[in-house]
């Protein structure tokens, strides 16, 4: 218990000493920073005000001003002089310029056109008038009686006919300099700047709440003197509320205002009989005190912790020496057990690896079997469509076969009658019919062949043409009108022509069967190039698709036909084919009635090589 108490007391002493040293150092730094800022602000304020000192003297010597005072009142050109003073005000960037006559009444002013104009106002009570009318330049700071704005006034005597020792001035030229600009610059500082006059009244401040307040209570005599010159008009000039906490060496003070502590430095402005004060917040000093206390306390705690750790290590080392032998025996036993466990686990892992290898091989075989099954399903779907087309192809083949039989019989009869030329014409007709049958057979071979994984540049319009040739007889027999909406430019896609043709044949066959019971039978085929895609669509005028069909249309073995009329694999396989080609197949109902199937395929800007003609065109 005594050890803990001693350590706590020592910790508090160290933290107190660290906070004290940190405070002294932080105050010295803050004093240096505030002193530099005060010096710069003092030079800036002096330069800002004195740069206009020359202006009233310069204007007082202008011939137009002197001539104006020398003329009788009834012939003076007041507007001309007002404009001259306004131009001079704008050029010099001051608040106001005005001319007083010998009695202190304003007879010309730069603000003659404003509601708060000085025209006709008497300022004989102002200090700058009394100084200038006595023949010297004047300076004065006060609140404007008309505008209510603070300003610094420069004045100069004006003689209409030349200066002599016996002649009093004929008027006074006054220049008012506004103070708002320099105060706005002060507000960008991290400190508060304020200017006090000889009576301790804060005339300028970066904090608007401190303006026209007093550092200390004003006596009745001081207030009567201020009212006589109307320096601050009738402003109450309340006390600012500063509390001096401590006086530091060098004249600096610690002060409190509105619950916040500040470091206060001041410098005299002898030329204006002012003092410039700076209030630097003590927050950095407070922060430094806390950091110093925490740093010293932390260092002390580290030292104490280091000593405690050293003592603890010595105690632990003795404990380790006592139990070292027992630990060695325990570790040896644990090592033997670990080796046995590792050996058993290694055997288990080797068995698992062999089993995993077997499962991987089985998975590869299953994937290969699945791929073969998928290809066989695609070919089976193609052959199923081919079977559906067999009746139409058989009808197209029967017509030329009957014609060939008739031409052959005629040729035989003509040869028997000795007319070989006519028989030759029949043989030519037979040859043309055989070519037609070969073209029909080529279409069947083209559709029944298996595709491969090699993709080429394929014309979408050519694929539509081939599919229509296969369905030509069935469409004509069903009285279905085909409307083509093909882009004039060839739409090239990267695809396998056999598989793309199978999808189009399947969609056209579905549309043909959907319109069996429709009064209007119209098949609309379109192909267009849109941005980076080629859009192929097959639309019909049938009854359209039900909500259930739209939800399950591309599922395997789903069909809307009667039992025995289809397996329900066509659209599922078609969607898989389009997906493998990097596109997508969509289905929806047309607003005017009927179903619409849309194929999106990536477009090829320029074909790499023209594809060979299809066997149907051979």
Quick: pLDDT tens for 134-172. 988 898 888 887 778 888 999 999 998 877 667 889 999
pLDDT digits (tens, 9 = 90+) for 55-85: 999 999 898 899 998 888 878 889 999 999 9
Segment 46-59 mean pLDDT: 88
DSSP assigned state of 330: H
pLDDT digits (tens, 9 = 90+) for 279-309: 888 888 878 878 877 887 888 788 878 887 8
494 close to 528: Cβ distance less than 8 angstroms: no
Question: Cα separation of 233 and 236, whole Å?
Answer: 9
Structure-model confidence comparison of residues 405 and 84, the more confident one = 84
Look at residue 263 in the predicted model and tell me its pLDDT: 87
Give the pair of three-digit tokens for residue 134: 């006595």
- 74 Cβ contact partners less than 8 Å away, ≥ 6 residues apart: none
Look at residue 97 in the predicted model and tell me its pLDDT: 94
Give the pair of three-digit tokens for residue 188: 């960008």
| pLDDT score of 523 more than 90 | yes
Look at residue 154 in the predicted model and tell me its pLDDT: 93
| pLDDT score of 49 more than 70 | yes
Look at residue 217 in the predicted model and tell me its pLDDT: 86
Question: Which pairing describes strands 192-196 and 201-205: parallel, antiparallel, or unpaired?
Answer: antiparallel
Question: Which pairing describes strands 274-281 and 456-459: parallel, antiparallel, or unpaired?
Answer: unpaired
What does the CA dihedral 320, 322, 327, 330 come to, rounded to 10 degrees?
-160
DSSP assigned state of 168: P
DSSP string covering 195-232: EE-TTSEEEEESSGGGTTEESSPPPHHHHHHHHHHTTT
| pLDDT score of 613 more than 70 | no
Q: How confident is the model at residue 493 (pLDDT cuts 50, 70, 90)?
A: very high
255 close to 243: Cβ distance less than 8 angstroms: yes
pLDDT digits (tens, 9 = 90+) for 348-365: 888 888 888 888 888 888
| pLDDT score of 458 more than 70 | yes
User: Which of 90, 48, 89 has its CA nearest to residue 186?
Assistant: 48
Question: Cα separation of 262 and 246, whole Å?
Answer: 11
Give the pair of three-digit tokens for residue 5: 């108490």
122 close to 105: Cβ distance less than 8 angstroms: yes
Tell me the three state secondary structure of residue 143. strand
DSSP string covering 531-544: TTEEEEEEEE-S--
Structure-model confidence comparison of residues 525 and 472, the more confident one = 525
Look at residue 239 in the predicted model and tell me its pLDDT: 84
For the beta sheet containing 595-602, the strands, ordered from the edge strand earlier in sequence to the opposite edge, are 481-486, 522-530, 533-540, 595-602, 584-589
Choose the weakest-confidence range: 34-48, 470-484, 547-561: 547-561
Rg (CA), the chain: 55
Look at residue 615 in the predicted model and tell me its pLDDT: 40
Look at residue 129 in the predicted model and tell me its pLDDT: 92
Segment 599-615 mean pLDDT: 69
Main-chain phi, psi angles of 530, to 5 degrees: -130, 110
Entry pTM: 0.46
Segment 241-266 mean pLDDT: 85
Most confidently predicted of 85-99, 206-220, 239-253, 331-345: 85-99
Residue 417: exposed, middle, or buried by beta-carbon count in 10 A (0-12, 13-18, 19+)? exposed
Q: How confident is the model at residue 433 (pLDDT cuts 50, 70, 90)?
A: low
What does the CA dihedral 323, 328, 330, 332 come to, rounded to 10 degrees?
180
Look at residue 440 in the predicted model and tell me its pLDDT: 58
DSSP string covering 466-514: HHHHHHHHHHHHTTPEEEEEE-SS--EEEE-HHHHHHHHHHHHHHHHHH
Return mean pLDDT, the chain.
82
Segment 584-593 mean pLDDT: 92
Structural domains in the chain, CATH included, are: 55-283 (3.30.450.20), 451-617 (3.30.565.10)
| pLDDT score of 563 more than 70 | no
Choose the weakest-confidence range: 78-92, 199-213, 421-435, 456-470: 421-435
Look at residue 153 in the predicted model and tell me its pLDDT: 92
Look at residue 10 in the predicted model and tell me its pLDDT: 78
Question: Cα separation of 87 and 92, whole Å?
Answer: 9
For the beta sheet containing 150-158, the strands, ordered from the edge strand earlier in sequence to the opposite edge, are 106-109, 96-101, 171-178, 150-158, 138-143
Structure-model confidence comparison of residues 449 and 473, the more confident one = 473
């Amino acid at each position: 218990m005594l050890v803990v108490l001693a350590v706590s007391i020592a910790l508090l002493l160290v933290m107190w000493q660290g906070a004290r040293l940190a405070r002294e150092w932080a105050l010295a730094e803050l004093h240096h920073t505030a002193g530099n800022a005060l010096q710069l602000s003092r030079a800036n304020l002096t330069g800002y005000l004195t740069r206009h000192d020359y202006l009233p003297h310069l204007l007082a010597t202008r011939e137009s001003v002197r001539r104006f005072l020398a003329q009788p009142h009834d012939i003076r050109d007041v507007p001309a002089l007002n404009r001259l003073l306004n131009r001079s005000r704008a050029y010099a960037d001051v608040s106001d310029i005005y001319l007083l006559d010998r009695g202190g009444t304003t007879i010309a002013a730069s603000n003659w056109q404003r509601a708060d104009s000085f025209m006709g106002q008497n300022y004989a009570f102002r200090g700058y008038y009394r100084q200038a009318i006595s023949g010297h330049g004047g300076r004065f700071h006060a609140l404007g009686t008309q505008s209510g704005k603070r300003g610094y006034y420069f004045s100069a005597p004006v003689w209409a006919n030349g200066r002599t020792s016996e002649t009093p001035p004929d008027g006074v030229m006054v220049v008012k300099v506004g103070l708002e600009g320099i105060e706005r610059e002060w507000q960008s500082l991290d400190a508060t700047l304020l200017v006090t006059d000889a009576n301790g009244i804060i005339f300028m401040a970066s904090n608007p709440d401190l303006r026209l307040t007093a550092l200390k209570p004003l006596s009745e005599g001081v207030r009567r003197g201020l009212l006589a010159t109307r320096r601050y008009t009738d402003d109450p000039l309340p006390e600012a509320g500063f509390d001096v906490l401590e006086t530091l060496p060098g004249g600096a003070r610690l002060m409190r205002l509105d619950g916040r502590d500040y470091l206060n430095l001041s410098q005299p402005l002898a030329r204006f009989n002012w003092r410039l004060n700076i209030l630097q917040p003590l927050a950095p000093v407070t922060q430094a005190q806390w950091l110093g206390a925490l740093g010293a306390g932390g260092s002390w705690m580290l030292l104490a912790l280091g000593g405690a750790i050293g003592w603890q290590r010595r105690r632990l080392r003795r404990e380790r020496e006592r139990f070292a032998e027992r630990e060695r025996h325990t570790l040896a036993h644990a090592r033997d057990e670990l080796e046995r466990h590792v050996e058993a686990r290694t055997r288990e892992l080797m068995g698992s690896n062999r089993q995993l290898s077997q499962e991987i091989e089985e998975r590869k075989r299953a994937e290969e079997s699945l791929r073969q099954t998928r290809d066989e399903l695609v070919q089976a779907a193609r052959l199923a469509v081919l079977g559906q087309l067999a009746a139409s192809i058989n009808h197209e083949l029967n017509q030329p076969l009957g014609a060939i039989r008739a031409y052959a019989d005629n040729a035989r009869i003509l040869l028997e009658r000795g007319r070989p030329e006519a028989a030759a014409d029949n043989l030519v007709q037979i040859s043309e019919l055989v070519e037609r049958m070969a073209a029909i057979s080529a279409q069947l071979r083209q559709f029944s062949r298996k595709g491969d994984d090699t993709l080429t540049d394929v014309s979408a319009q050519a694929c539509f043409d081939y599919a229509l040739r296969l369905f030509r007889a069935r469409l004509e027999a069903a009285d279905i009108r085909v409307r083509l909406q093909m882009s004039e430019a060839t739409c090239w896609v990267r695809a396998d022509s056999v598989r793309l043709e199978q999808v189009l044949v399947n969609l056209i066959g579905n549309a043909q069967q959907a319109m069996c019971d429709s009064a209007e039978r119209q098949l609309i085929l379109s192909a267009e190039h849109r941005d980076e895609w080629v859009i192929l669509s097959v639309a019909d005028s049938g009854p359209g698709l039900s909500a259930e069909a739209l939800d399950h249309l591309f599922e395997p073995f789903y069909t809307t036909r009667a039992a025995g009329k289809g397996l329900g694999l066509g659209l599922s396989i078609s969607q898989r084919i389009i997906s493998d080609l990097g596109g997508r197949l969509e289905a929806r109902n047309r607003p005017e009635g009927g179903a619409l199937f849309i194929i999106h395929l990536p477009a090829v800007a320029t074909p790499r090589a023209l594809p060979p003609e299809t066997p149907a065109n051979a």
